[in-house]
Amino acid sequence: MPQKLLAMWEKHKGFSLVELLLVILLIGITSAIAIPNINDWITDRKVKKETISFVKYLEGKKSQIQQGGHPVFVIGVRATPNLYYMTRGEFNIQMQVPASGRTNRNNASRYDNKSVMNYYKACPCCLDTIDYSKWNKTNTGTYQWGGGTRHWPNMNICMSKNSILDPETNHFNFTSVDKGQLNGALVICSTKNSTNSGSKRCNASNKIKHRYLVQIDRSLNIEIYKYNLKKNKWALQ
């Protein structure tokens, strides 16, 4: 190698201290911007995954009904989940018109000769103490919530043959980006930025990130919405 080129190579083969400090500074700035975004993405991904998992569970119960299994499932969504079902024989009794005295509390005129369940067509709330219909509780097949998320509110969700029952015991209003005001069933949040009370409580109204919403309409169609913090609205996923 000519002496002149060798000298130039020796001069430029390494970084100066200033250049090295600039590289370290740029790496630090890039990391400061990128790491929070990555953490946000991971947190959001976890909540989304839990929401999709729960919706798949609901779809599975709906499929069991459609394939001739139990005609009604009542899914208790709470810290300790539970699951009730009604047998086909009991369901047929509940749908009889005129109804038997047991199913309308011996007050046929009040319920138009229907059972209480058939008259209101509402998802029942207190299945352990209800007196006009018979339910079976099972510990098998309950939904098990994963770690890192919380949900709101505690409620029952009914999946019933021919959608005879309103699927939700509780409704709340939310504003979607495309469809305006709708009724929602359940909100799922991250435990990292939400609480069970206060201004960061996991619900449909507090303005916090990483929230997903499950909507179930009267025909048991299920949709997932994600909260858009900038628009303060929910976007269909």
What does each of the 237 residues of the chain score in pLDDT, given as a tens digit?
A: 456 555 554 555 555 666 666 667 666 666 566 556 788 999 999 999 999 999 999 999 999 999 989 999 999 998 889 999 999 999 999 999 999 899 999 999 999 999 999 999 999 988 888 999 999 999 889 999 989 999 999 999 999 999 999 998 888 999 999 889 999 999 999 999 999 999 999 999 999 999 999 999 999 999 999 999 999 999 999
The reply to whether 214 falls in a domain is: yes
Strand order in the sheet with 180-184: 149-152, 186-190, 212-216, 222-228, 233-236, 172-176, 180-184
Per the structure, the complete domain to which residue 221 belongs is given by 46-236
The reply to whether 16 falls in a domain is: no
Give SS3 for 28.
Answer: helix
The reply to whether 74 falls in a domain is: yes
Cis peptide before 98 (omega within 30 of 0): yes
d(CA 156, CA 81): 10
The reply to whether 140 falls in a domain is: yes
Q: Which residues of 116-146 are buried (b: 16+ CB within 10 A; e: fewer)?
A: bbbbeeebbeebeeeebbbeeeeeeeebebe
The reply to whether 69 falls in a domain is: yes
Q: What is the pTM of this model?
A: 0.83
The reply to whether 8 falls in a domain is: no
183: amino acid identity, one letter: N
The reply to whether 3 falls in a domain is: no
Tell me the C-alpha to C-alpha distance, in Å, between residue 233 and each of 1, 112, 175, 190, 206. Answer: 68, 42, 6, 18, 11
The reply to whether 28 falls in a domain is: no
Instruction: Judge whether 44 and 193 are in contact, CB under 8 Å.
Output: no
Instruction: Judge whether 60 and 110 are in contact, CB under 8 Å.
Output: no
User: Which residue bears the tokens 């109204």?
Assistant: 205
d(CA 234, CA 39): 22
- The token pair at 121 is 């067509």
Q: How many domains does the chain have?
A: 1
